[in-house]
Amino acid sequence: MYMRFTDNLFGSNTSHSKNTGCNSNKDYKRMSFNGPKGGNGGRCNKRKALRASNFWMFGTVVFLAIAVLLTGCSGGSKDPSNSGGSKDTEKIIKIGMVGPLTGDYATYGQSVRNGVQTAIDEINEKGGVNGLTLQLVAEDSKGDSTEAANAIQKLIDQDKVTAIVGAVLSGETATVAPIAQDSGVLMITPSSTAPGLADTGDYIFRNVITDDVQARQMAEYAVSELGLEKFAVLYANNDYGVALKDNFTAKAEELGATIVAVESYLDRDEDFRAQLTKIGDKAEALYIGGYYTEASKIAQQAKRQGIEARLLGADGFYSGKFVELGGDAVEGALFTAGFYSGDTSEDIQSFVSNYKQMYEEEPDMFAANAYDTMKIVAQALEKSGNDRDALKAEMAAVKDYPGVTGKTSFAANGEALKEVIILKVENGRFSRAR
């Protein structure tokens, strides 16, 4: 191939000598580029000049090609190990976080961010991970799936994070998980509970109890331990609310209870009087499948309408804002959770104390799950190094990690295996009911 290319570039030496009477290529050093204009000698000199010009052009092309190849080999190629953008020489490993830091659901995102940062600060104070400093890059989804997708893309493409803690809400996690999976970046949500999210792929993990598990356990507790038989369900018409509604009603009916009414509402609704009027006094308990923002308003409006049904819910209730906004109307409410800040164990109280010192408030379940999630990721990074593929393998191998939310293991599909607890609002504070 090399010989054919050079022949085509400046011709065959033999053919030119025979047809024109010109000297062979051995005369390149001696030929004049300004020979006589007339006669065969002039023509030969012109052809020689053309050959020489082509020769030097070819040499220049080859030189430039070699230079480009050498440049690419020295630093232009990608690291085949799929490492994050934080190079060891910079002594930094970037960890991404995405969730609502502003808007109606900001308390959840802020808790997750704060929990991750608390863990990072503790890890860095002890020397980081294999001598590398962890750095958090937090992005605001505003509780919107499109914003979350843009944030994830930025974290992957621009910030070059090694792993992502998030997203926070189930709807946004369902949108961004395929992006992380396709990019080969580990993503672990500490709070999104809709069933099936971890099934997106092998780079997607979850460290929180799922909606199906917690809804069924609440139904079992309400029927078997509280002796309740008639339930109404009022749920948010989103992934989170639908999953809670479906699983609570299915388990309650399986245990012989009766579902007397099922009503829905939309995110950010404020007036629930129509749904509550339909429910009336038919139920002994009202299961609310949604977040504290709407649940606190539902509780207040139900009280004003004279509804005395016991309030039941899920981990979306677990925020100090639930009691702050709901007041006396949420007293006695029961809900499922994966963490209780009032636990007297040394590790939990140490976490609670550090968190309070940094943020001047008590950590909720979102902060606790995020804290444990970051600690689990750091443990895996110690074994994998700053390498995305190796990190994924180490995460899948986690078993019985002893965190503030209890022991955590991961199933083959990336789902966390964790204990479910039940909390109660008592005298304006959360206490453990089970």
- Mean of the pLDDT values across residues 82-98? 72
pLDDT, position 194: 85
Phi-psi region of 117 (alpha: psi -120 to 50; beta: other; left: phi over 0): alpha
pLDDT, position 239: 84
Q: Label residue 20 by pLDDT band (50, 70, 90).
A: very low
Q: Measure the CA–CA gap between 375 and 81, rounded to whole angstroms.
A: 23
Asked if the model's pLDDT at residue 234 lies above 60, the reply is: yes
- Mean of the pLDDT values across residues 398-421? 95
Domain 88-209+346-419, what fold?
Rossmann fold (3.40.50)
Q: Label residue 83 by pLDDT band (50, 70, 90).
A: low
Predicted structure pTM score: 0.71
User: Between 57 and 301, where is the model more confident?
Assistant: 301
Task: Calculate the average pLDDT of the chain.
Answer: 85
- Mean of the pLDDT values across residues 279-290? 97
Lowest mean pLDDT among 75-79, 96-100, 178-182, 219-223: 75-79
Q: Measure the CA–CA gap between 212 and 210, rounded to whole angstroms.
A: 6
321-353 residue pLDDT tens? 999 999 999 999 999 999 999 999 999 999 999
Q: Measure the CA–CA gap between 139 and 376, rounded to whole angstroms.
A: 21
Q: Measure the CA–CA gap between 317 and 124, rounded to whole angstroms.
A: 32
* Domain residue ranges of the chain, discontinuous segments joined by +: 2-76, 88-209+346-419, 212-337
User: Between 131 and 27, where is the model more confident?
Assistant: 131
Q: Label residue 15 by pLDDT band (50, 70, 90).
A: very low
Does the fold of domain 212-337 match that of domain 88-209+346-419? yes
Q: Label residue 274 by pLDDT band (50, 70, 90).
A: very high
pLDDT, position 56: 45
The CB-side HSE value for 97 (13 A sphere, CA atoms) comes to 28
- Mean of the pLDDT values across residues 127-140? 97
Question: Could you tell me which CATH class the domain 212-337 is placed in?
Answer: alpha beta
Q: How many helices (H) and strands (E) does the chain have?
A: 14, 15
Work out whether strand 163-166 and strand 186-189 pair parallel, antiparallel, or are unpaired.
parallel
Q: Label residue 100 by pLDDT band (50, 70, 90).
A: very high
Q: Measure the CA–CA gap between 312 and 322, rounded to whole angstroms.
A: 13
| C-alpha triplet 89, 93, 97: angle, nearest 5° | 155
